[in-house]
Amino acid sequence: MNLLADSHAHLNAREFARDVDEVMMRATRDNVRVIINVGTDLKSSRLAIRQAERYSGMWATVGIHPHYTKALDEDIWGELSALLSVPKVCAVGETGMDLYRNLSPREDQERAFLNHLELASRANLPVVIHIRNAYEETLRILEANPPQNRGVLHCFSGDLHHARKALDLGLYVSFAGTVTYSGNSTLAAAAAYVPADRILIETDCPYLTPIPFRGRRNEPAFVSYVAERLAAIRKISPVQLAETVYENTVRLFGITEVAV
């Protein structure tokens, strides 16, 4: 298989506290050359940056997950804004709306989402968007406040209607290990529909481990299984799919130096 990119990982999660070096070695062995390490709060954003500065194939994002938006204050926003100038920071997020667990009030999530979109616009960076049980609400906000430098709906779980709306906004759509699970014809239809120049793949590790490793901790090396399943859905070769999503990831996140 050609070079691969994992467009959304959490190697800053506690599940990787003891063995990031080994995880990165396995990723390199399996031709994963670009990993976007995603921040979910201030602490994880700082760690994502430190890890990205250590590993040549890793880049970081800076943001506050919707779950944690009720605790935001001006000091946190100020530090987040300052982190955007670090060379290996390639995006703002993850941000968005999560109305499944409602760990933060909806109004706090909406306010934080708008602030992230503004930060991304000022920094000329793409935005990484999380949506759970909130597609219509999130897309409505995006339609009124379209990202100035594009972005990605990560771990897409919507339908064709949602995919079309995202594409109309100029967004990329990323598929995770869930696309390998049986019985989700709605997700497969969306995966077949997204144009080649707007599709990404990810692990969202340590979560959403693809078949055949479901039940284990996920990691970037497993992104090849997402690529293989997506290639089968789209009726193209895994090599072609890998090449396409690699090029899309590099383009979206503005990555210019890649270790090969």
Per-residue pLDDT tens over the stretch 121-168: 999 999 999 999 999 999 999 999 999 999 999 999 999 999 999 999
pTM as predicted: 0.97
Whole-number pLDDT of residue 170:
97
33, amino acid identity: R
Burial (CB < 10 A; 0-12, 13-18, 19+), residue 191, is buried
DSSP type of residue 81 = H
Q: Which of 144, 151, 192, 191 is nearest to 170 (CA)?
A: 151
Whole-number pLDDT of residue 184:
87
- Give how far Cα 95 sits from Cα of 12, 42, 66, Å: 17, 13, 6
Q: How far apart are CA 114 and CA 189, in angstroms?
A: 30
Checking if the pLDDT of 52 tops 90, the result is: yes
pLDDT confidence of 259, banded at 50, 70, 90?
A: low
Q: How far apart are CA 1 and CA 23, in angstroms?
A: 19
Whole-number pLDDT of residue 260:
54
Burial (CB < 10 A; 0-12, 13-18, 19+), residue 128, is buried
Checking if the pLDDT of 1 tops 70, the result is: no
Q: Which of 257, 250, 253 is nearest to 92 (CA)?
A: 253
- Residue 90, both tokens: 């390639």
pLDDT confidence of 175, banded at 50, 70, 90?
A: very high
Whole-number pLDDT of residue 102:
87
Q: How far apart are CA 75 and CA 174, in angstroms?
A: 32
Q: Which phi and psi angles does 48 have, rounded to 5°? A: -55, -40
Architecture of the domain whose range is 4-253: Alpha-Beta Barrel (3.20)
Q: How far apart are CA 82 and CA 169, in angstroms?
A: 28
Q: Which of 89, 140, 97 is nearest to 119 (CA)?
A: 89
Q: How far apart are CA 123 and CA 80, in angstroms?
A: 11
Q: With the CA atoms of 135, 72, 205 and 192 taken in that order, what torsion angle do they form, in degrees rounded to the nearest 10?
A: 20
pLDDT in tens, 206-253: 999 999 999 999 999 999 999 999 999 999 999 999 999 999 999 999
Q: How far apart are CA 260 and CA 93, in angstroms?
A: 27
Residues 6+ apart with CB under 8 A from 223: 4, 5, 6, 32, 201, 202, 203
Q: Three-state DSSP class for 183?
A: coil
Q: How far apart are CA 253 and CA 126, in angstroms?
A: 7
Q: Does the bond joining 66 to the residue before it have cis omega, within 30 degrees of 0?
A: no
Whole-number pLDDT of residue 57:
95
